[in-house]
Chain A
């Protein structure tokens, strides 16, 4: 019950059969006819546009027993064996599985020997972008000056992965993606030849889904033939492609226009029942939103589209242009996230719900039960620790500004040293040091130390860290220390706030100095020079 795929069965055997790619064929045909051959060719382009095919025909043209020409006879033993994939002098290498430099070396070992039966020895290296860096480098010398009987043909979908040293040694031909008409035409030809029933609309749908690749189109055609048991008709093809019936997308947009979340979820559920491809549905939604924006801007959609004109005009009036822009943006962002979503259905549903929720709701029909004020408050609190840190930093900054000459921090009772001095001398690092810097000494008496730490640090100051802080303090004072920690906003200046304040004071002093400098003043007066305060920097001591 073997069934050779159509893409294999209908692989062109002659340049004349290749669809599209005229720009390349012309160059190759002229080169062959006038015998102006290069020794290395690189064919690039997206999947299924004919890279390997053209390379094989080229190999055939070079080795045909009737002589080098753009029209290999297709009858001699060389042509036939190339077609059957058993020509000894055509070495087709799968670079993606033979990536290692040893494989490449092995290949190059045989370059020097003359071809066994043909005119040229041809190395067709497919998927060449997967070769390792060493493999590419091993190729360079041979690729630049191969023996006269050797021709290299490279094919890849991803030429950006090739080193420039390889690119510069090859003639590069970039195959373009095929147009829908070209694909549909070829599909029609294939089906006629296979005498299968088909209609043009179905072929157009397949050609559209193939996105520029002939092999994709032929694989889809195989699938469509299987699905419709030998017939290719529009309805079958539509179903097979999991194509979103336009009605569903229209339901979604209608529900959005009416801010009706129940209808929205209903529409998604219906789509899931029909096992619609949600990624394609999102693409359709994006396209429709784009079309709405065009209608709103220009008054009409400039070209034919599959969505009903009157319906589009109706929706364009119901949804404000700002909302269309917002939906479009959410949809585009959602497209990025959808692949991460564990379930496509839920992912799609969340994208459309986001459109409802994130819309600045006009009073009265808020889709969100919570008042907007609450929402914005919520946003601010999204990362409480960070927000807290910033807030407390700002507060202490403001506090220090109010009292530039801060009263001396309370000193440790027994030593007379300030907590600031103690902290800088303690052998702490990382997080613990940061906590200590953000703490205030409450009292220190007879081996008991009590600290007040900002509440944002409560989570990170676990028992383990507390113990090591206690140990460090004990080692510093040379006596057993009992450490107690309270959490709350410190009223006095913490060492961290103190050093911040000192730094900002020093900076202000420096800025004042620069402003007072007679040279600067002179420059300002004579040339209208302006000082950019933010660039003033003290010299590091």
Chain B
């Protein structure tokens, strides 16, 4: 892996870590908003740790056996623990590593409900594997991503190994949000906070590196709340048609009281979470318009900056207190989504029904 692959704002974080006084910490916790590229950085750090002759700045050489094995997704001393959903989801290099810590049953393709937690059996197997000396490299690197999804048992079973790892073992934990980790885990790690990159930097990266249309980059970055990797995902995902469908369904809900069931099943097909995230951003923008009487300050950083006219118009029809109450509902339902056995379709129906009711006075 070479420097070119790492996004500019991550390079800064990596350089800071490479120059760490007294050596690389054994338990490191990387914290940053989802979609900012934590796992890219973690893979860079891991490959540099495993590399036989890393460059001065703590960079992997990309030539040695370790680096080639790492790049091929086959390094035996790189231990990756992901949720079942991520390991068995999209086929990335990281997911391939993560498969190692799934049970035979979990590895089967086509399982209906994939766990969104890291479970205790995964950690038990990990602890058993990392007490032995590394097989090929002179270090063992463990990546746990995201540490937010360790369930209570798994988190507790990690404590002892995390506190006093073997001298050659390095832990990299990734977390979207530090508050969701138990204090016992937090207390055992050094924390590195990765800030959200400046808007211009993200835009440049999206348009320059990934050939996104400048206008599209602007929209996707807004929708992703400034997280460039999420924006890139939206950008690759035929955003324009998806978004116009989404906007259409919003107006349908506003006009038509019974539409929530059909719209909910439609959203459920295209991704319940994305739909609700966008709705969250939309309602937040409406609140801003409402509070500012239709003139949002530039500092407000709208999620949907491209739809100003429509937002202004919608804001006139809605009640501020109701909007704020609705926003907390969306917030709570988003937290529920995927975190429980709750049915996604039902959650969508509830939220959309409430959204449709906000317009009931005009009808």
In the complex, A470 has a CB within 8 A of chain B: no
Point out the residue from B124, B301, B320, B335 that lies within 8 Å of A357, measured CB to CB: B320
Spot the interface stretch: B91-99, B210-218, B321-329.
Answer: B321-329
The answer to whether B319 touches A378, judged by C-beta atoms less than 8 angstroms apart, is yes
Interface set of B (CB-CB < 8 Å, partner A)? 16-17, 19-27, 33, 120, 123-124, 127, 153, 156-161, 163-164, 167-168, 177-180, 183-184, 186-193, 195-196, 198, 225, 257-258, 277, 280, 284, 287-288, 290-293, 296-297, 299-301, 319-322, 324-325, 327-328, 331-332, 334-335, 357, 360-361
Point out the residue from B25, B193, B293 that lies within 8 Å of A369, measured CB to CB: B293
Ordered by A's residue number, 12 sampled pairs between the chains whose C-beta atoms are within 8 Å are A5-B25, A5-B190, A96-B157, A96-B160, A215-B187, A216-B187, A229-B20, A230-B21, A272-B196, A346-B280, A356-B291, A383-B357
Point out the residue from B33, B186, B322 that lies within 8 Å of A216, measured CB to CB: B186
The answer to whether B22 touches A226, judged by C-beta atoms less than 8 angstroms apart, is yes
**Beyond A222-B25, A266-B297, A353-B287, is A99–B332 a contact (Cβ under 8 Å)?**
no
The answer to whether B190 touches A222, judged by C-beta atoms less than 8 angstroms apart, is yes
In the complex, what residues of A have CB within 8 A of residue B168's CB?
2
For chain A, give the interface size range.
35 or more
Chain A, range 463-520, C-beta contacts under 8 Å to B: none
**Beyond A8-B163, A96-B160, A340-B334, is A375–B188 a contact (Cβ under 8 Å)?**
no
Give 20 new A-B contacts, CB below 8 A, not counting A223-B192, A375-B320: A3-B23, A47-B184, A94-B159, A94-B161, A96-B159, A97-B156, A127-B156, A127-B157, A130-B153, A219-B188, A223-B191, A226-B21, A226-B22, A227-B16, A230-B21, A277-B178, A357-B291, A357-B324, A358-B321, A378-B319
Give, as a whole number of angstroms, the nearest-CB distance from A69 to chain B. Answer: 27
State in angstroms the CA–CA spacing of A382 and B324 once bound together: 12
**Beyond A130-B157, A346-B284, is A340–B301 a contact (Cβ under 8 Å)?**
no
Q: Mask for A72-97, Cβ within 8 A of B = 1, else 0?
A: 00000000000001000000001011
The answer to whether B258 touches A337, judged by C-beta atoms less than 8 angstroms apart, is no
The answer to whether A337 touches B328, judged by C-beta atoms less than 8 angstroms apart, is yes
The answer to whether B321 touches A229, judged by C-beta atoms less than 8 angstroms apart, is no
State in angstroms the CA–CA spacing of A343 and B196 once bound together: 12
In the complex, A148 has a CB within 8 A of chain B: no
Give, as a whole number of angstroms, the nearest-CB distance from A159 to chain B. Answer: 14
In the complex, what residues of A have CB within 8 A of residue B27's CB?
5
Point out the residue from A48, A347, A353, A354 that lies within 8 Å of B187, measured CB to CB: A48
Q: Secondary structure of the B side of the interface?
A: helix
Give, as a whole number of angstroms, the nearest-CB distance from B200 to chain A. Answer: 12
Interface centre among B16, B178, B331 (most CB of A within 10 A): B331
Q: Mask for A407-425, Cβ within 8 A of B = 1, else 0?
A: 0000000000000000000
Q: Mask for A153-166, Cβ within 8 A of B = 1, else 0?
A: 00001000000000
State in angstroms the CA–CA spacing of A135 and B288 once bound together: 55
State in angstroms the CA–CA spacing of A230 and B178 once bound together: 25
**Nearest A residue to B34 by beta-carbon distance?**
A342
The answer to whether A279 touches B179, judged by C-beta atoms less than 8 angstroms apart, is yes
State in angstroms the CA–CA spacing of A265 and B289 once bound together: 12
**Nearest B residue to A367 by beta-carbon distance?**
B291
The answer to whether B179 touches A378, judged by C-beta atoms less than 8 angstroms apart, is no
Chain A, range 221-265, C-beta contacts under 8 Å to B: 222-223, 225-230, 242, 261-262, 265
In the complex, what residues of B have CB within 8 A of residue A8's CB?
163-164
The answer to whether B320 touches A350, judged by C-beta atoms less than 8 angstroms apart, is no
State in angstroms the CA–CA spacing of A402 and B293 once bound together: 48
In the complex, A339 has a CB within 8 A of chain B: yes
Give, as a whole number of angstroms, the nearest-CB distance from A133 to chain B. Answer: 14
In the complex, A4 has a CB within 8 A of chain B: yes
Point out the residue from A226, A277, A339, A378 that lies within 8 Å of B180, measured CB to CB: A339
Give, as a whole number of angstroms, the nearest-CB distance from A237 to chain B. Answer: 13
In the complex, A370 has a CB within 8 A of chain B: yes
State in angstroms the CA–CA spacing of A251 and B203 once bound together: 29
State in angstroms the CA–CA spacing of A229 and B16 once bound together: 10
Give, as a whole number of angstroms, the nearest-CB distance from A225 to chain B. Answer: 5
In the complex, what residues of B have CB within 8 A of residue A367's CB?
291
The answer to whether B153 touches A96, judged by C-beta atoms less than 8 angstroms apart, is yes
In the complex, A381 has a CB within 8 A of chain B: yes
Give, as a whole number of angstroms, the nearest-CB distance from B361 to chain A. Answer: 7
**Nearest A residue to B276 by beta-carbon distance?**
A342
**Nearest B residue to A385 by beta-carbon distance?**
B357
**Beyond A265-B299, A343-B225, A354-B324, is A242–B21 a contact (Cβ under 8 Å)?**
no
The answer to whether A47 touches B183, judged by C-beta atoms less than 8 angstroms apart, is yes
Point out the residue from B127, B186, B361 that lies within 8 Å of A97, measured CB to CB: B127
In the complex, A46 has a CB within 8 A of chain B: yes
In the complex, A379 has a CB within 8 A of chain B: yes
Interface centre among B16, B193, B332 (most CB of A within 10 A): B193
**Nearest A residue to B225 by beta-carbon distance?**
A343
The answer to whether A3 touches B156, judged by C-beta atoms less than 8 angstroms apart, is no
**Nearest B residue to A6 by beta-carbon distance?**
B22
The answer to whether A157 touches B319, judged by C-beta atoms less than 8 angstroms apart, is no
Chain A, range 341-366, C-beta contacts under 8 Å to B: 341-347, 349-350, 353-354, 356-358
**Nearest A residue to B18 by beta-carbon distance?**
A1
The answer to whether A269 touches B196, judged by C-beta atoms less than 8 angstroms apart, is no
State in angstroms the CA–CA spacing of A242 and B328 once bound together: 26
In the complex, A275 has a CB within 8 A of chain B: yes
State in angstroms the CA–CA spacing of A49 and B47 once bound together: 35
The answer to whether A213 touches B21, judged by C-beta atoms less than 8 angstroms apart, is no
State in angstroms the CA–CA spacing of A228 and B21 once bound together: 8
The answer to whether B258 touches A97, judged by C-beta atoms less than 8 angstroms apart, is no
Interface centre among B23, B300, B319, B324 (most CB of A within 10 A): B319
The answer to whether B23 touches A2, judged by C-beta atoms less than 8 angstroms apart, is yes
The answer to whether B153 touches A99, judged by C-beta atoms less than 8 angstroms apart, is yes
Give, as a whole number of angstroms, the nearest-CB distance from B299 to chain A. Answer: 4
In the complex, A102 has a CB within 8 A of chain B: no
State in angstroms the CA–CA spacing of A229 and B157 once bound together: 33
